[in-house]
Amino acid sequence: MKLFSAILLSMLLPFTAAQAAVRPLPLPADKGQPVGKILIHTTQEGDTLAGLARYYGVSPILMMAANPDQDLLLLRPGDKVVIPNQMLLPRAETQGIVINLAELRLYYYPENEDQVYVFPIGIGRVGRATPEMVTSISQMRENPTWTPTANTRKEYAAKGIPLPAVVPAGPDNPLGEYAMRLSYGSGEYLIHGTNDPLDVGLRSSAGCIRMYPEHVEWLFAQVDKGTRVQIVNQSLKISTDEYGQTFVESHEPLTPEGHKDTRPVDISVLEPLLENGLDRATLEQIIGQQQATPQLVGQSLY
């Protein structure tokens, strides 16, 4: 919880960076290769974690993981900040929308195109975790109204915020201006915008997927009813390219209750590398650092 409190504090600071345009990442011919590039940002006066995260389209949590020795809450002009804009693709069908909860990212694969669009997201908070699923978009709603559940109204009332039975579209609506309902369950899960961009990149929703307003507006224009949506929870991603190079990308796994998952990581898929001489302790150390960026851990011997 200390990590999330620190992030919330930093995200209260004002934005100074202009919002970046939505740009695709080209998919490599060999899908085992990492996608994107690691960037280095030299900070200027007024830069904040919130501003950099939104400009580069990266979750603040991932930025903190990629800069373990840097205090991103107290940026100074001239600081070098690693922007983790390189990643391994999740183990999922490369079509429609893929969401990986562990890395707080949404991937959109346009049909018949060799590229992917990647966005930071907010997901379900402790006790209201976003479930894994394979589903599709069942409804597209522009300027949606919001009907809070009885439990949600009680939660808000406990904070001294009374809610009406139906919240109309507008600046007070937490769904923002665009919402895409998923057919999973009784339709209670949505991918939507927000009237509070500070929630993007955190576990803060009641189970829905939150996006920055400019990102959800763009995505809303690309998809339609029936678009496939797969939600996975992969804290450890592994891939091997055509040259036998193996990469791992490790994120901190969290249980639905919010505490750190202390179960040992299954690295059985990496046993061939250990048989070829890779030191197990070194491999476990790389995975344990949870730096949220692809790391080259070994190469197969032919």
Report the pLDDT value the prediction gives residue 256, as an integer from 0 to 100.
Answer: 58
Winning range, highest mean pLDDT, from 20-24, 61-65, 274-278:
61-65
Q: Is the pLDDT of residue 4 over 70?
A: no
Which residue, 232, 260, 284, sits at the end of a domain? 232
How high is the pLDDT of residue 5? 39
pLDDT band at 9 (very low <50, low <70, confident <90, very high): very low
For the chain, what is the mean pLDDT?
Answer: 86
Token pair in block for residue 256: 């639905």
First and final C-alpha spacing in the chain: 46
Question: Which amino acid, 62?
Answer: L
Question: What residues make up the domain containing 99?
Answer: 2-232
CATH for 34: 2.40.440.10
Q: Which residue has the tokens 């179960």?
A: 263
pLDDT at 20: 61
Catalytic residue among 41, 208, 251, 259: 208
pLDDT of residue 72: 92
Judge if 153 and 108 occupy the same domain.
Answer: yes
The answer to whether 198 and 98 have CB atoms below 8 angstroms apart is no
Do 201 and 7 form a contact (C-beta atoms < 8 A)? Answer: yes
SS3 state of residue 11:
helix
- The catalytic position among 41, 192, 215, 259 is 192
Number of domains in the chain: 2
- Separation between Cα atoms, residue 203 and residue 210, nearest integer Å: 10
Choose among 188, 268, 179: nearest CA to 225: 179
**Is the domain of 227 the same as that of 241?**
no
Reported as a single tens digit per residue, the pLDDT across 210-232 is: 999 999 999 999 999 999 999 99
Summarize the chain as % helix, strand, coil (round to 5). Answer: 25, 25, 50
pLDDT higher than 80, residue 114 = yes
Reply yes or no on whether 41 is catalytic: no
- The amino acid sitting at 261 is D
Q: Are residues 105 and 6 in the same domain?
A: yes
Q: Which of 199, 232, 265 is the last residue of a domain?
A: 232
Catalytic site includes residue 208: yes
pLDDT digits (tens, 9 = 90+) for 28-76: 888 889 999 999 999 999 999 989 999 999 999 999 999 999 999 999 9
Q: Using CA atoms, how far apart are residues 278 and 275, in angstroms rounded to an integer? A: 7
Q: State the pLDDT confidence band at 259, using cuts at 50, 70 and 90.
A: low
